Chains A and B, each alone.
Chain A
């Protein structure tokens, strides 16, 4: 299974900017998300009623398809931990202030977690498989696993993304994760996963794993490498997120020859941010600078581990 297109809206200059991994800026206090001009991607009428999460999802989805001139994907799959959190909060505020009066249904209609995936299909007029995974910090990994099933069942191209919205309630997330030195982020990253290799360059997704509620996360990376007959010193780059203080020491003992990057410094903490890391990995692989094999190591929540293994082919 190959990654044939990628598109992200993030705190980096990532949208339609191949090679953005060369220009990474650590998130500072003033840094904001970089939104594109949505007008080429979403009709004005639709743009007005869409939440930021929907706009980001639709723009990235359409950008992905246009990169490879694909009219229709065989499936649309989204991973989002909190879904349409802006509309959810808006509707709660309306309930609180209505005091028995009438409430407009607009926010309720847009509040379901599958709004992003649903709106993509609606705009594309796509009648295929459409689903949304909401598994906490492993939402995107689960969406990717579902995509691998689709490819296994004969799908040629699957549109898959990770997205979470800017929601002020989440500014307390790092406190809950006991990692107060990291900034909260948000964004969307979408991909086309394909059965066949499209280009001279392609990144092969060798493994996608998702482990929830596990006591000892350390054993799994080794297992996955063994299953794929890859030695730990063949991994050129590890993109990681973790809430453990000594994670760098642990990872460097296991991957002594790999470069280590804490990817959350560039996209911020959000529960589907391993999708940003996958795009970052894809961008590194695309540049011929010696990075051939990358592991995305998502340990944002201590008992949950996501692993994505990809290789330049």
Chain B
């Protein structure tokens, strides 16, 4: 059974919609900038909460920035779709922040003033943000929120695909969103893995990551839904897998076991050969540990014929739960434009790794199948494969 992709939407530091994101990727413009507020290089969406509320017609609702960013991307992906009693429609989101940005705000105020009014506002669950987003779209019924740290996005996408495949839904909006929260800014700082400059994925002299904020969503449909909606097919989601590294809570195994399993099993699911993959959008965070482990996994899976690959984290920063979701949108754009994205800031191959990432933006080359990787805390490894229909 084919899982059709018929809509995409994205908001990130490099653009407020998918067209703008593609233009930035094409021209090599990074969205990572120095934040004088946080003294860090960050991939921020240059819009305040008030501006996002205005744009989405939800002023004064006290929504989390998670909901606000997601609404932008979800509305772009959803486009002219309509709710219909004939099409079982669901919404599957993912986030690691959820309402935590709001909780921080109220909790820090509470610590200062000990005002008990803040109590009821300090419940920071993820699911409420998804309920708010679904409600704005008019989707009710099937709503879920995956939260597996930095692999959350693809896990929401593959859950949606499986719900179509096992005939529980006909159409599903899938993706993920994470705003910048002080919690994560301080968290990654405590791990001491920030690059003071723009990150250098897969480079020997890489120093670490930059974090960013973003939202990315896709509309997935089965054949029956397509007949009803008449939507144009952008591509198909042909393979997916989630596997566990089971090595360490935060670090990836040196031999890339979990990543290798996820890629191999996704290829098996898509019934593709390793030579069929034209481009890989890597997880490539720019940390010492991730990039070497991922490169080892490429070797394990592809041997001496590693396909073109790049990390787009140098453009957007690592957008945590949203990362795999916006990169899924980039994979669809790669197929639509027959393009391979460049890996910014690469100068020197990693020791012991004899291949290097895609260095220039290519367009109009043959791209039939693209693979996307995302890895998260808890050894959570996910791969998706998108193919031309």
Chain A residues engaging chain B, CB cutoff 8 angstroms? 76, 81-83, 88, 91-92, 94-96, 98, 102-105, 108-115, 117-119, 121-122, 124-139, 142, 145-146, 148-149, 152-153, 169-170, 172-173, 175-176, 210-215, 271, 304
Cross-chain pairs A/B with CB under 8 angstroms, 5 sampled:
A122-B379, A127-B246, A139-B127, A176-B123, A213-B131
> Is there an interface contact between B149 and A114, defined as CB atoms closer than 8 Å?
yes
Selected from A118, A119, A212, A271, the residue in CB contact (under 8 A) with B142 is A212
What distance in Å separates the Cβ of B336 from its nearest Cβ neighbour in chain A?
Answer: 29
Chain B residues engaging chain A, CB cutoff 8 angstroms? 96, 98, 100, 103-104, 107-108, 111, 119-120, 122-128, 130-131, 134-135, 139-149, 155, 159, 162-163, 166, 168, 182-183, 186-187, 189-191, 242-250, 257-258, 261, 376-380
> Is there an interface contact between B244 and A121, defined as CB atoms closer than 8 Å?
yes
> Is there an interface contact between A130 and B380, defined as CB atoms closer than 8 Å?
yes
Task: Name the residue in A113, A126, A142, A175 with the highest tally of chain B Cβ atoms < 10 Å from its Cβ.
Answer: A113
Which B residues touch A145, using CB under 8 A? 144, 168
> Is there an interface contact between B182 and A95, defined as CB atoms closer than 8 Å?
yes
Selected from A102, A126, A138, the residue in CB contact (under 8 A) with B127 is A138
> Is there an interface contact between A122 and B249, defined as CB atoms closer than 8 Å?
yes
> Is there an interface contact between A131 and B148, defined as CB atoms closer than 8 Å?
yes
- Rounded to whole angstroms, the CA-CA distance of A94 and B147 in the bound complex is 23
> Is there an interface contact between A127 and B376, defined as CB atoms closer than 8 Å?
no
> Is there an interface contact between A211 and B166, defined as CB atoms closer than 8 Å?
no
- Rounded to whole angstroms, the CA-CA distance of A135 and B233 in the bound complex is 30
Which A residues touch B148, using CB under 8 A? 112-114, 117-118, 130-132
> Are A169 and B122 CB-contacts (below 8 A) given A112-B96, A129-B243, A134-B127?
yes
> Is there an interface contact between B183 and A131, defined as CB atoms closer than 8 Å?
no
Which A residues touch B189, using CB under 8 A? 103
> Is there an interface contact between A170 and B123, defined as CB atoms closer than 8 Å?
yes
Selected from B124, B125, B244, the residue in CB contact (under 8 A) with A130 is B244
Which partner residue on chain B sits nearest A98 by CB separation?
A: B186
Selected from A113, A125, A170, A175, the residue in CB contact (under 8 A) with B126 is A113
- Rounded to whole angstroms, the CA-CA distance of A205 and B379 in the bound complex is 30
- Rounded to whole angstroms, the CA-CA distance of A124 and B243 in the bound complex is 14
> Is there an interface contact between B378 and A149, defined as CB atoms closer than 8 Å?
no
What distance in Å separates the Cβ of B227 from its nearest Cβ neighbour in chain A?
Answer: 24
- Rounded to whole angstroms, the CA-CA distance of A46 and B96 in the bound complex is 24
> Is there an interface contact between A114 and B377, defined as CB atoms closer than 8 Å?
yes
> Are A135 and B144 CB-contacts (below 8 A) given A92-B104, A108-B187, A112-B376?
yes
Which A residues touch B242, using CB under 8 A? 129-131
> Is there an interface contact between A88 and B187, defined as CB atoms closer than 8 Å?
no
> Is there an interface contact between B379 and A121, defined as CB atoms closer than 8 Å?
yes
**Top 10 A-B pairs, shortest CB-CB distance:** A118-B378, A136-B127, A212-B143, A113-B147, A108-B187, A105-B190, A135-B127, A134-B126, A213-B140, A114-B148
- Rounded to whole angstroms, the CA-CA distance of A115 and B147 in the bound complex is 10
Selected from A82, A122, A134, A176, the residue in CB contact (under 8 A) with B246 is A122
> Is there an interface contact between A126 and B246, defined as CB atoms closer than 8 Å?
yes
- Rounded to whole angstroms, the CA-CA distance of A119 and B126 in the bound complex is 21
Which A residues touch B143, using CB under 8 A? 135, 138, 210, 212-213
Q: Kindly list 10 other residue pairs between chains A and B, CB separation below 8 angstroms, not including A88-B183, A130-B379.
A: A82-B124, A83-B147, A88-B100, A98-B186, A108-B190, A113-B149, A129-B242, A134-B126, A135-B127, A213-B141
> Is there an interface contact between A211 and B376, defined as CB atoms closer than 8 Å?
no
Selected from A91, A117, A169, the residue in CB contact (under 8 A) with B187 is A91
> Is there an interface contact between B108 and A96, defined as CB atoms closer than 8 Å?
yes
> Is there an interface contact between B257 and A127, defined as CB atoms closer than 8 Å?
yes
Which B residues touch A118, using CB under 8 A? 148, 244, 249, 377-380
- Rounded to whole angstroms, the CA-CA distance of A112 and B181 in the bound complex is 14
Which A residues touch B141, using CB under 8 A? 211-214
- Rounded to whole angstroms, the CA-CA distance of A153 and B107 in the bound complex is 44
What distance in Å separates the Cβ of A242 from its nearest Cβ neighbour in chain B?
Answer: 18
Which A residues touch B134, using CB under 8 A? 212-213
- Rounded to whole angstroms, the CA-CA distance of A192 and B190 in the bound complex is 37
> Are A112 and B190 CB-contacts (below 8 A) given A135-B127, A169-B119, A212-B131?
no
Which A residues touch B168, using CB under 8 A? 145, 149
- Rounded to whole angstroms, the CA-CA distance of A125 and B380 in the bound complex is 13
